[in-house]
Structure 1
Amino acid sequence: MTTPPPSSELPEVTVEPIPQPAPEPTPKAKEAAAKPEPRPLLARLFGISIWGALKLIGLCILVGFFVLASQFDPTNPDVNAGEAIMNVARTAVSALGWALQNFWKPALAGATIVLPLWVLWRLISLPFRK
Structure 2
Amino acid sequence: MADTAKPEEPVVTPVGEAPVRNSKVPRAPKRPVLPRLFGISVWGAVKLLVTCLLVGFFLLALEFDPVADDVNVLGALGDLLGNLVGAAVWAVRNFWKPLLAGASIVLPLWVLWRLASLPFRK
TM-score exceeds 0.5: no
Structure number having the greater helix percentage: 1
TM-score by length of structure 1 reads 0.39
TM-score by length of structure 2 reads 0.40
User: Structure with the greater relative contact order (CA < 8 A, sep ≥ 6): 1 or 2?
Assistant: 1
Q: Which has the larger radius of gyration?
A: 1
